[in-house]
């Protein structure tokens, strides 16, 4: 399984190099857990601390990305940074409904692709997040689809006595 393309892997390797605390959420996580769909971006939940924010800035600068001015207070408030265009777009968030970063990080699944270690949100945490998003329109339909499929995946694994 190769869930991440080359551009996303470069980005994730930079996060690791600068010890940014993060977990992959959203569409890529749903696909990793078995949902058959596409996504146009990589959603990255980061720890909402000033130190982690500074590490993230170092990682982004190492990739020559243009950054807005971000104050220390913004790292602990609700923050979203978006870079690029589909299919290589990246959204960096320090919050997401229904999630506590420390619990998500503790429960996360580890994946290694091309020697890049990546933490991906646990399937149960992903379901909780998708249910808490309360989005409207097309995104709401996609969230509902993801939740239904993810729940079926859990049910199938439980029926086979597989680890979830």
Report domain extents, the chain.
Answer: 6-123
Any idea which fold 6-123 has? Answer: Beta Polymerase; domain 2 (3.30.460)
**pLDDT at residue 87, as a whole number:** 78
**pLDDT at residue 162, as a whole number:** 78
**pLDDT at residue 136, as a whole number:** 92
> What's the whole-number mean pLDDT along residues 84-112?
94
DSSP state of 20: -
Sole residue written with tokens 């993060």: 22
Show the CA angle centred on residue 120, arms to residues 124 and 57, nearest 5°: 130
> What's the whole-number mean pLDDT along residues 48-69?
94
Q: Is the pTM of this model over 0.85?
A: yes
- Order of strands across the sheet that contains 80-83: 80-83, 89-93, 41-46, 22-25, 116-120, 109-113
Residue 15 pLDDT grade (very low, low, confident, very high; cuts 50, 70, 90): very high
What spatial distance separates the first Cα and last Cα of the chain, rounded to whole Å? 18
> What's the whole-number mean pLDDT along residues 103-122?
96
């Amino acid at each position: 399984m190769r869930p991440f393309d080359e551009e996303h892997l470069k980005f994730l390797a930079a996060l690791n190099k600068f010890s940014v605390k993060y977990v992959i959420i959203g569409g890529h996580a749903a696909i990793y857990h078995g949902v058959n769909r596409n996504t146009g971006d990589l959603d990255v939940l980061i720890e909402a601390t000033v130190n982690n924010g500074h590490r993230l800035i170092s990682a982004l600068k190492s990739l020559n990305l243009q950054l807005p001015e971000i104050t220390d207070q913004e790292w602990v408030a609700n923050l979203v940074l978006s870079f690029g265009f589909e299919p290589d777009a990246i959204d960096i968030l320090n919050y997401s409904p229904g999630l506590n970063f420390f619990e998500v990080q503790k429960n996360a699944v580890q994946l290694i692709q091309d020697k890049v270690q990546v933490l991906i949100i646990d399937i149960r945490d992903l379901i909780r997040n998708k249910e808490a998003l309360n989005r409207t329109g097309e995104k709401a339909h996609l969230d509902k689809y993801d939740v239904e499929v993810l729940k079926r995946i859990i049910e199938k694994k439980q029926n086979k006595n597989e680890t979830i």
